[in-house]
Chain A
Amino acid sequence: NAGVTQTPKFRILKIGQSMTLQCTQDMNHNYMYWYRQDPGMGLKLIYYSVGAGITDKGEVPNGYNVSRSTTEDFPLRLELAAPSQTSVYFCASSGPGQAPMNTEAFFGQGTRLTVV
């Protein structure tokens, strides 16, 4: 059981470049999330999705886009990278999925992004 898989683990971007952070889960979870975590800080929700074809903004959506074409995948797109987007990005998913009472969130290992 792989859980939540994020790629890449590390990336350095130049200002103005674009990239997609990949996230996939194999637990048939309805909810998927993207968070950013700045050094020494908590989690800030960027976007989330309640199911395939449905996405919604979180606290800090500016500069990002998402799509949810399948239950498994929830990629995060940065169109014009800026130094303020230097952060660690976490993808997560939660149920109810196949286990209705098991509503805990599962996290990927994170992507450390630096924009220079």
Chain B
Amino acid sequence: GNSVTQMEGPVTLSEEAFLTINCTYTATGYPSLFWYVQYPGEGLQLLLKATKADDKGSNKGFEATYRKETTSFHLEKGSVQVSDSAVYFCALSSNTGGFKTIFGAGTRLFVKA
């Protein structure tokens, strides 16, 4: 079945450091890929998405590129801020799975001033 694997956290960085959170997936068909963010005390919200191979999703300085050849969708940001401290979830939705959303386990990010 479809699945998502993301790097374990927590990840601790200093402000202005470069961020990478790895995400790989297993899916049949043509999945759409997503990154969600959960700020403390809140629900999840969509950060960015990509719906086909080689697409790049971007939002708030975050980027991720849909790599079909490596089945990956790594999240990157060039310079993190304290306000980026949150939990990040990689997810997929596939037409062969009736568009059911599958989430990774989440990666907690701490950014120090």
Contacts and interface: CB of A to CB of B under 8 A. Distances in A.
Interface of A: 30-31, 33, 40-43, 48, 50, 90, 92, 94-96, 101, 103-110
A48 B100 contact: yes
A98 to B, nearest CB: 13
Q: How large is the interface on B (under 10, 10 to 19, 20 to 34, 35 or more residues)?
A: 20 to 34
Contact of B105 (A33, A42, A101, A108): A42
Interface string B82-106: 0000010101010000111101111
B34 interface: yes
Interface stretch (B18-26, B43-51, B62-70, B73-81): B43-51
Contacts of B87: 42
A108 B45 CA distance: 9
B89 A30 contact: no
